[in-house]
């Protein structure tokens, strides 16, 4: 129950903070294991609307190479790849984060937890560069 309340509080705070900022962040919560426990057994995750299977992973695999896996290159490559999908990845009701990391690890053969341990930018997660306003956001101002 404590885990559920902490998760709910984290998601609630994430939405509040997202509303206060125009910058996009990739929540560090996506790096956590989301095993089905407790109440989650009855709450299956929705399929991700992004088809991560056919995306181009060379953004990451060409820059983030072992055995050293330099954090500056790995994290900037990860952000370049993941930031365009930040909203989908941060939606913990879907399997987007799990699916994305499965393919990153499949194509890059990275050690478990590489990005979680190396790519840290603060309490809110990784900051993504500001993107162009969406079409729906523009329609609100017309």
More confident residue, 26 or 85: 85
Q: pTM score > 0.85 for this model? A: no
In angstroms, the CA 48 to CA 89 distance is 9
The token duo for 20 is: 């206060």
pLDDT digits (tens, 9 = 90+) for 30-54: 555 444 444 555 578 899 999 999 9
Give the torsion sign (CA, 44, 11, 108, 56). positive
Specify the 3-state DSSP secondary structure of 126: strand
């Amino acid at each position: 129950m404590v885990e559920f309340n902490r998760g709910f509080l984290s998601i609630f705070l994430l939405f509040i903070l997202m509303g206060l900022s125009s910058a996009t962040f990739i929540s560090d919560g996506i790096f956590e294991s989301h095993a089905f426990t407790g109440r989650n057994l009855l709450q299956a995750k929705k399929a991700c609307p992004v088809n991560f299977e056919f995306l181009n992973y060379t953004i990451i695999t060409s820059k983030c190479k072992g055995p050293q896996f330099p954090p500056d290159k790995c994290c900037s490559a990860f952000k370049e790849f993941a930031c365009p999908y930040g909203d989908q990845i941060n939606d913990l009701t879907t399997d987007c984060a799990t699916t994305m990391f499965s393919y990153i690890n499949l194509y890059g053969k990275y050690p478990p937890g590489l990005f979680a341990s190396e790519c840290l930018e603060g309490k809110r997660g990784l900051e993504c560069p500001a993107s162009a306003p969406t079409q729906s956001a523009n329609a609100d101002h017309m």
